[in-house]
Amino acid sequence: MRARLVLLCLALLAAASGASAQDATPPLSLKGEWRQGSLLFGQTTPGAEVHFNGRRLRLSPEGRFVFGLDRDEPAEASLSIRLPGAPEWLTRYPVAQREYQIQRLNGLPPKQVNPEPAMEARIAAEAAQNRKARARDSDYASVFAPFAWPAKGAITGVFGSQRILNGEPKQPHYGVDVAGPVGAPVVAPADGVVSLANPDMFFSGGTLYLDHGYGVSSAFLHLSKILVKEGQPVKRGEKIALIGKTGRVTGAHLDWRVNWFESRVDAQQLVPPQGKP
């Protein structure tokens, strides 16, 4: 009895002194690399409050959560967890910085570098549509199931690459490009709900977004045909569109992008190497 009382007092002392931060580490498992472009999956105690870089994360009833490290994520990120009635536990993690393919092209005619000023209003309106699709924060748990390739074919473009045209850095390439003939099928890489279906965007042509839940979305660009409607739920493997060469492209391919809100992550990390099941 006495020994138990002493132990209890020691525990209270430790808690009060703050030296117990390590002892108070909440249960946490994390899957994924602390590297630019990664999507990380976590699990902690149900009911906990989890913040990534100060942003409150949606927690599943089982205590699962997900967050993404942007293409240009700074070298340090923070994750904090607060269990009901406990002090906040905050850890900083180093984020591995990636080198991206940079291509410099000079001496181009200006109209090849920037769209016509007359297109500005349309481009801005379409950018707002895209941002709205990426801002969705739904509780679909599809994101926690494995992803599959949305199309088969040679990889012709990778995440993060960037062109600098006449000294002007253009928007980086956020997707993985899969070459394929016009009309080849595009299937849903995971369950989701169609959050945007626009057959004709200036840059990306036929454009489709799927909301996989918890802030994670897929985008499919340059489609020749969209086979689903906004608001429609789709299943992993279901045919949703056809590959095309619409928008500003040189050849037929699927550009598949994965986002965690406005953070751009590397879709390729979510699927096995091509050719493997």
Binding site for Zn ion (CB under 5 A): 157, 175, 177, 255
Nearer to Zn ion, 150 or 175 (CB): 175
Minimum separation from the CB atom of position 144 to Zn ion (A): 27
Minimum separation from the CB atom of position 76 to Zn ion (A): 30
Minimum separation from the CB atom of position 20 to Zn ion (A): 50
Q: How far is CA 19 from the centre of its chain?
A: 37
Nearer to Zn ion, 175 or 206 (CB): 175
From residue 199, give the alpha-carbon distance in Å to each of 14, 24, 203, 252, 275: 62, 52, 12, 15, 30
Residue 205 token pair: 């042509």
Vertex 81: Cα angle to 31 and 83 (nearest 5)? 120
Name the strand (E) or helix (H) holding 193.
Answer: strand 192-201
Minimum separation from the CB atom of position 173 to Zn ion (A): 6
- Residue 264 bridge partners (DSSP): 259
Minimum separation from the CB atom of position 254 to Zn ion (A): 8
Nearer to Zn ion, 175 or 213 (CB): 175
Phi, psi of 252 (to 5 degrees): -70, 130
Nearer to Zn ion, 157 or 199 (CB): 157
Minimum separation from the CB atom of position 93 to Zn ion (A): 30
Residue nearest to Zn ion (CB): 255
Give CA–CA dist 203/122, Å, rounded: 10
Q: Classify the C-alpha dihedral 116-135-247-98 as positive or negative.
A: positive
Nearer to Zn ion, 70 or 255 (CB): 255
Among residues 83, 100, 87, 99, the alpha carbon closest in space to that of 44 is found at 83
- The H-assigned helical ranges of the chain are 2-17, 110-113, 120-134
Q: State the DSSP code for 153.
A: S
Nearer to Zn ion, 17 or 171 (CB): 171
**Residue type present at position 80:** S
Give CA–CA dist 260/216, Å, rounded: 4
Minimum separation from the CB atom of position 176 to Zn ion (A): 8
Nearer to Zn ion, 77 or 196 (CB): 196
